[in-house]
Structure 1
Amino acid sequence: MKRVGTTTLSIICNNGVIFASEHHATMDTFIASKTVKKIYKIDEHIEMAVSGVVGHSQYLLRQFTAKIYLYSLENGYRIPLKAAVTLLSNLLRGENAPYYVQLILGGWNGNEEDLCSIDDVGGMIGDEYIVAGCSQHAYGVLEDRYKKDLSIDEGIDIILSALNAVTKRDSASGDGIDISIIDKQGYKILEEGVIKNRLHILEGNHG
């Protein structure tokens, strides 16, 4: 059986992009791990969320980050986000394909935020919010509450509500939430205590 990462999601806000995930990895109906990391900093202006077969995701992550680093060394500047999307898409079509993954790549693209879903054969779709993995419950929340020009704080609340809906209704998802943000100032991780406090407030407001 293959170990599979489950729910990841990301949304564009005004002046930033938020990534989030829960911690489960599954083997069919068996929870193989409750501490899986699914969000990765690629550069100060780019991050990636992974779902799918864990071994494939980890291999792609190593290859991708190495190529991003080499690009910076060879060119003397950080890779543009759109070029990074193309590079990752090409990796997915490479000699070791297919990779059973769904990836979300996003960040700060010069003077604006950007977000893209990349499927297991390198197909690319840009959107204002993206969910990968066990997605149906999260999409319901996002479709209902997403709007243009969300603040970062509003975006965090929506993402927490979406992941909370997933973990309550999907036994393959759960055991904690990771949230990170990229804006023009760079990359930052929301502390676990802050996430728990905000989630507690949200649950109280909707209780």
Structure 2
Amino acid sequence: MHFLLSMFPSSIHPHLHPHPHPTTFCCRNAVLEDLLEGGTPKPLKTGTTIAGVVFKSGVVLGADTRATSSEVVANKTCTKIHHITPNIYCCGAGTAADTQKTTDLLSSNLSIFSLNSGRKPRVLMAVNILQDMLYRYRGQIGAHLILGGVDCTGHHLYTVGPHGSMSKVPYLAMGSGDLAALGILEDRFKPDMELEEAQLLVRDSIHAGIMSDLGSGNNIDMCVITAQGVEYIRPYQESEYSDQRRRKYKHHPGTTGVLEEEVVPLKLEVVEETVQRMDTL
């Protein structure tokens, strides 16, 4: 979808307008129908399991590391926990490029705020900026986010949807493996947990999503945010399913027959080269 939009003229490109007019989307849809011969682009399934839990002294965020493109595993060590500020981190599910760009823009805006004011941004400020950014594009940015952090008002965990919806929650899981992860969280969550218990709960919820969803897998990353600082553990747990490639897929010369061969001579022009010393005195 984003590749098709990049070929359109600027008059219908939604990213060039801070507040796109509804007519813009009608023009875009008309161009899409012409390019796709009357059809609509098929949705692409993405795979992710991310989770967050509020414990006694802060917030624990967790995520798997598998990035998929349809049925293909594109990356086994994808980073899904993004740095926003020294006291705020964000987990992203959905389109990897959208989540990365959205969190990068948020981090840049909050860094400018900190430099101008000399203060640490609050978690609610980051959530409000995300809401405005995502609502502006009416769900075209495929970013499902879990934002966690600690500020002067306490420790907080928020969820922000691709259309700009927001909720403050004590625990949450998102992504294609969220149903299995939520089953673990709802069964074992309790207020004012200790750090070790919260880490174990997040790890087990991500593992449940990995085992129940083909789009989630490989390692488990974890981020612990407290008033004392941040501990980003990557990987927190490596995949227990590892295999070695037994065959070599490099074919020997002559494996594929040559059907036709044509030799084109290259015309070369001889150029004289001279070396001139530079006076360094």
So what's the TM-score if we normalise by structure 1?
A: 0.88
1:137 paired to 2:137: no
SS of residue in 1 equivalent to 2:61: strand
Alignment check: 8 A CA contact 1:8 1:50 kept:
yes
Give the one of 140, 157, 160 matched to 1:98: 140
Structure number having the greater strand percentage: 1
- Structure 2: unaligned runs, 5 residues or longer: 1-42, 241-281
Q: For residues 153 and 26 of structure 1, what CA distance do their matches in structure 2 show? A: 31
Which residue of the partner structure matches residue 187 of structure 1?
230
Instruction: Check 1:66–1:97 CA distance in 2 against 1; reply closer, same or farther (3 A cut).
Output: farther
For residues 3 and 140 of structure 1, do their structure 2 counterparts lie closer, same or farther at Cα, with a shift above 3 Å needed?
A: closer
Structure 2 vs 1, CA of residues 2 and 55 (structure 1 numbering), >3 Å: closer, same or farther? farther
The residue correspondences of 1:114-125 to structure 2 (distance < 5 A) are 114-125=156-167
Partner of 2:150: 108
Q: Which position in structure 2 is the counterpart of 1:64?
A: 106
The equivalent of 2:218 in structure 1 is 175
Q: CA RMSD in A?
A: 2.1
Match of 1:187, SS state, is strand
CA contact (8 A) 1:3 1:32 kept: no
2:197 to 146, 150, 154: 154
Query: Residue 163 of structure 1: CA displacement?
Result: 1.4
**1:82, 1:112 → 2: CA distance?**
11
Higher RCO (Cα < 8 Å, 6 or more apart):
1
Identity %: 26
Supply the distance in 1 between the matched residues of 2:137 and 2:94 (Cα, whole angstroms).
Answer: 19
The answer as to whether partners of 1:51 and 1:101 remain within 8 angstroms in 2 is: yes
1:61-80 deviation per Cα after TM superposition (whole angstroms, max 9, x unaligned): 22111101111122221111
Corresponding residue pairs, total? 197
CA distance in 2, matches of 1:95, 1:119: 12
Equivalent residues of 1:21, 1:179 under 8 A apart: yes
Q: CA deviation at 1:52?
A: 0.3
Structure whose alpha-carbon radius of gyration is higher: 2
User: In the alignment, is the contact (CA less than 8 A) between 2:221 and 2:237 conserved in 1?
Assistant: no
Please report the TM-score for the alignment, with normalisation by the length of structure 2: 0.66
Give the stretch that moved more between structures: 42-51 or 25-34.
25-34
- SS at the partner of 2:136? coil
Q: Which runs of 5+ in 1 are unaligned?
A: 201-207
Matched, 1:17 2:59: yes
Of 74, 89, 112 in structure 2, the residue corresponding to residue 47 of structure 1 is: 89
**What SS does the corresponding residue of 2:90 show, helix, strand or coil?**
strand
